Chains A and B, each alone.
Chain A
């Protein structure tokens, strides 16, 4: 109970900080719109290898992948925000109090989940004219997968931020994690084009399962093994990432 209460406390604080920063909110909403507008003209020819014959088919393949990319990318870069709080003593001030250490991580990470949810909502609304949304239940299930992905990515990012505690190093580490992870998830480039060894690696990537599962949901197949499989895999990643990261919040930071 204390963990939940404290998580709520930290979550409220970070939501407040986000709302107080209008540029942050604006750019957060602009990003998915830009993705959609810039990529859309390329979609049909590019996605023919995945069996997209119409524009609607192309969107059904592209949009789920882009949502996962947003969740991974949005989550992995949140560590930079923590570096500031580590430097100005806010984290240390919290660690002297009796506040739950898990809450220090979860409160922050859930704010990041909310960011991704809002961005996904923007995309969903923009997709309505294309007839992309057929079943609201499938879409909500997709959001649950996205929430797990962004929670895992945020926890990993905060953990790395505490470990390296340096913005330049953090940027390099995150780039080196994010790019291969996105590729191996088949978020933007279809893995159907990839050689076998690359596809084999991707088969063990929970986020690739998530992309395939999301595509199944948008295609109207909630019974696909990749749907429940991605929930199980991503859930396991969340548990591991949160446990690791929260232990770093509890331990010495300097």
Chain B
């Protein structure tokens, strides 16, 4: 649905009479499949928003190629605009008009007639649960309400791809959960959703696939599970009481075990590729050898561990 090759953007800045060029995006290749939630994870200033704004036709590319919903980003801008929706981080509503008026205007800017636009607006108000406040002025809305209006505006023309720039930044936990549900609902309707985020848990819980971006480059790409597995695999700890030495002997010969260690407190620590499939195998192997398990626990690496491995620093810093 979105394919990019060597996407580049640099900005010129003037400092002490010297013009220097800052490479904001240094050649990004992406391949986003239809109907997935794709996450762009990275710290502030990594080039996420710049990439998004290029894909949304807001700023020209310096170099590279991109195709969105079959249309060339350079040569078929009008077609790209018809097939995408874009919601900026700060949204974009006018204080002195109502959500309904904004929705109608937005639909009409895409060329819909007055009556069509009114119908679409009414549908969007119902779908995004805006009924209570749709005829009040936008300046009276809470952060979460405003965000829902922003998303409704972004998809009023039923695009195939929706770009969301930091959709949950500044929202309270409840509005955030609500927003995740809305985004999943859009995916269920067949929409491809491309979000940027600097929240690890959001990338992890919401996105089907993510690309980690740092200093204008993609440093890792895959499903959150793949990425976490790639760096160190999972760790399973097993409690077997007195029989830890025997259990270690049994487990170290198993094909899934990459390392077995008996800790001082008698607990077994196994490095495995995929903990979820290893656990039943561990249990079966130990039962077969007559060892009774008292506890078994899975520790998965987080996306922050991935970021740390790839960039040498933590995203939380």
Q: Which of these binds chain B: A67-75, A94-102, A235-243?
A: A94-102
Q: Which of these binds chain B: A13-21, A173-181, A188-196, A221-229?
A: A13-21
* B56 CB contacts on chain A under 8 angstroms: 96
Report if B57 contacts A (CB, 8 A).
yes
* A20 CB contacts on chain B under 8 angstroms: 96-97
CB pair B60 A98 closer than 8 Å: no
Question: Which residue of chain A has the shortest Cβ distance to B88 in the bound complex?
Answer: A89
Chain A, range 50-102, C-beta contacts under 8 Å to B: 85, 88-99
A98 to B277, CA, bound (A): 49
Instruction: Tell whether A92 pairs with B96 under 8 Å between CB atoms, given A9-B108, A97-B106, A98-B78.
Output: no
Chain B's interface: helix, strand, loop or mixed, by majority? loop
CB pair B81 A97 closer than 8 Å: yes
* B95 CB contacts on chain A under 8 angstroms: 88
A97 to B88, CA, bound (A): 13
* B97 CB contacts on chain A under 8 angstroms: 13, 16-17, 20
A11 to B108, CA, bound (A): 13
Contact of A9 (CB < 8 Å), options: B57, B93, B96, B105: B105
Question: Which residue of chain B has the shortest Cβ distance to A91 in the bound complex?
Answer: B92
* B106 CB contacts on chain A under 8 angstroms: 93, 97
CB pair A17 B57 closer than 8 Å: no
Nearest-Cβ distance from residue A91 to partner chain B, whole angstroms: 8
* B96 CB contacts on chain A under 8 angstroms: 17, 20-21
A10 to B34, CA, bound (A): 34
The number of chain B residues touching the other chain, given as a range, is 20 to 34
Chain A, range 91-117, C-beta contacts under 8 Å to B: 91-99
* B153 CB contacts on chain A under 8 angstroms: 93
Report if B84 contacts A (CB, 8 A).
yes
Report if B109 contacts A (CB, 8 A).
yes
* A172 CB contacts on chain B under 8 angstroms: none
* B93 CB contacts on chain A under 8 angstroms: 88-90
CB pair A95 B111 closer than 8 Å: no
CB pair A85 B94 closer than 8 Å: yes
Contact of A98 (CB < 8 Å), options: B58, B81, B91, B101: B81
A254 to B90, CA, bound (A): 14
26 contacts between A and B (CB under 8 A): A13-B97, A13-B105, A17-B94, A17-B96, A21-B96, A85-B94, A88-B94, A89-B90, A89-B91, A89-B93, A90-B94, A93-B91, A93-B153, A94-B109, A95-B58, A96-B56, A96-B57, A96-B84, A96-B85, A97-B81, A97-B109, A97-B157, A98-B81, A98-B110, A253-B58, A254-B59
Can you name 6 extra interface pairs (CB under 8 A) apart from A88-B92, A89-B93, A97-B81? Answer: A2-B111, A9-B108, A20-B97, A96-B58, A98-B82, A254-B59
Closest 8 CB pairs of A and B: A89-B92, A93-B92, A99-B109, A97-B109, A96-B86, A252-B59, A89-B88, A98-B81
